[in-house]
Every structure is written in C-alpha cells, then in structure tokens.
A = this chain, B = another copy of it.
Amino acid sequence: MTTIRDVSRVAGVSVATVSRAMTRPEKVSEKTREKVLAAIAETKYKPDVSARNFSTRKSRTIVVLVPDISNPFFSRVIRGIEHTAQRVGYSVLLGDTRGDPSIEDSYAGMVEARLADGIIQLNGRLPFDGAEETPVPLVNACDCVDRDDIPTIALENAKAARAMTQHLLSLGHRRIAVVKGPNDSSLTRERLRGYAEALAEEAIELDDALIAEGDFSAASGENAATDLLSLQQKPTAIFCFNDEMAMGVMHHAKQLGFSVPADLSVVGFDDIQFAQYCDPPLTTIRQPAESFGSKAMTVLLGILQGEAPTVMRQHLPYEIVIRQSTGVAP
C-alpha cells in the first residue's frame, strides 16, 4: 500500500506538504503542488480516507433512519438524500429500522461511535431513549416529532387532508370514510385533523364507524375495505392516508362488486408512481418525495457546518392530483 509518506519521498517534500497540496492547494506554491501531483500519479496514491476521517474527527457520512425502505415513497426520499449527499462528498448509511425503536437507537449510536456525523430521521420518533436534548445533529423529515428544537421538513398534512376532503365534499359525498395510519404517527393525527375540519365546515358530524385503522400497507387497505363496505350505512368515498392502502381498498371494493368511482370514490396520499397506473387511476395528494430528502440533507449539512438552522420547520408544497378514482356521489 502506498501512503502519504511514499508520496512525500517521491516528491521530495514533507508529508505535511503533500497533505496540504491535497486538501488546501492554495497553501502551497504552484511548483510544489505540481511536484506533489506528479508524485501522486506516479505512485498511484489513494489517500486512506478512513485515516483522514479519524484524524479530523469527521466521517462525512450521515445515517438515514427509515421505517421501510421498500416503501416507494421512502425510497424516493432516500434517493433525494443520496443524490445531494453525493454532490457534496457525503455518504449515506442506510438504517432500515422497521420502526423498531431499539434498532433506531442502535443506528443513532453510530454518530457517537464517530461512524456518522448526523442523522436524518424519517420516522416520527427521536432515536435516543429519553434524552430531552438532542445529543447529535439530527433533522426530521416526512413524519415528525412535535418539537420545535428539531429542524423539520414536512408537508402541511392537516391542510392537505382538509383540501382533499373538501374535494370529496364538493362532489357531493357526505359519508366519507378514512383509512388512517397508526395513531402514534403525527401524520395520522394531522391528516385526521384536516379531515375533521373539512367535515365541520359543512356541519357534518364525525362518525367513528367511518374511521378505519391501517398500517400503510396495501393489505391493511383491503382489510379496512372489508369493514367499511359491510357497514349498514356505507361510505360513498374512502380517503386513505397513503396510496398503497388506497390500492388495497380499490382492489377489494372492485372484488366486492363496487364500481369505482360510480359507487365509491377512493383517494390516496403520496402520489407514488403506481397511482397513475391503477384502474381507475388514483386521485391523490402529490408529495415532493425527492425534495424531502434533498432539503433534509441540505439542512443537516448546514448544521454540520456549524450554522444554526434559521427556520425550524420547512413546509413543502403538496398538490391535489385529480384522476379518475373520484366522481360525484351516487
């Protein structure tokens, strides 16, 4: 293995100069820089970045905590993170946590172990058991913990859900069911709030029977559809808190003989790629997945460079995408 020593010998300079020539070229004279560069080429020298990181006490690596990487929404967020990280010479360690707090905590431990400089958490939980101050650089995106000392990239979930509910209302729907996510998710709470607000505006009473629980999987959408569609007073529209559940609902509704949207309108959330290939194509709320990732990475980068984040909460725009899974109430 060739080290910085070898290069310094070949170039006839000290190791310090070689180091400078690589990391702060303006600190060495043009002549020596060229000598060093030539020596590097001649010896085929590749710096040992792990030694450098050790020496500088940085890793130029961040870890991203994701509940499930095979979820198409999250994988796009991760792509956003990765691409901006790549551009500035950072690497990203993948922490697929399945939402398991102990796995989250163990990944978060990587920054104390100096394997990573910071964390992007895509789940709504702080990955250190019980600390009231965040001991490591962290930014929160997508789902979020409700704390104003943690930089957060989020959608205005309540507003978006309200807008979608209003769309349904405007089509004449009065019995609008919801397939929500887990209760401990702020996503669920916020969207539920927006839904309730929209109903309240029209003086429609909230009916608990119309609120089904899901876990963001298509299968849970199917289950919810079973319950909702066997109700005495069936809903004429179902608002699912993500597209996968909506696909499950739509699939099952059609199996039961319902026609979408003639008998039943179905809407989702996220606008994953497959939403447009559903039959009928799914009306949904588009989230800028890659932007979540790149914004989160940008904010984290700022923190790692010692800047205090100026805004603690960035809102990304959503867009109601109306396709063919919604129609006027029967």
Contact = CB atoms under 8 A, between A and B. Distances in A.
B78 A69 contact: yes
Interface in A76-103: 76, 78-79, 82-83, 86, 91-94, 96, 103
A23 B254 CA distance: 58
Nearest to A48: B114
Contacts of A273: 70, 218, 244
A159 to B, nearest CB: 26
Given A50-B54, A59-B50, A247-B277, A79 B83 contact: no
A94 B78 CA distance: 9
Nearest to A252: B277
A125 interface: no
Contacts of A42: none
Nearest to A260: B279
A51 interface: yes
Decide if the interface of chain A is mainly helix, strand, loop or mixed. Answer: helix
A53 B51 CA distance: 9
Interface stretch (A28-36, A105-113, A206-214, A300-308): A105-113
Given A46-B109, A218-B273, A273-B218, A94 B96 contact: no
Contacts of A274: 247, 274, 277
Nearest to A58: B50
Nearest to A72: B72
How many protomers of this protein does the assembly include?
Answer: 2
A182 interface: no
Given A86-B103, A115-B49, A218-B273, A91 B110 contact: yes
A86 B65 CA distance: 13
Contacts of A277: 218, 247-248, 250-251, 274, 278
B82 A76 contact: no
Contacts of A250: 277
A75 interface: yes
Contacts of A248: 277
Interface of A: 46-51, 53-54, 59, 61, 68-70, 72, 75-76, 78-79, 82-83, 86, 91-94, 96, 103, 109-110, 112-115, 218, 244, 247-248, 250-251, 254, 273-274, 276-279
7 contacts: A53-B115, A70-B75, A82-B96, A91-B93, A247-B274, A274-B277, A279-B279
Given A49-B114, A69-B69, A83-B96, 7 more contacts: A49-B113, A50-B53, A50-B115, A51-B114, A92-B94, A274-B274, A278-B279
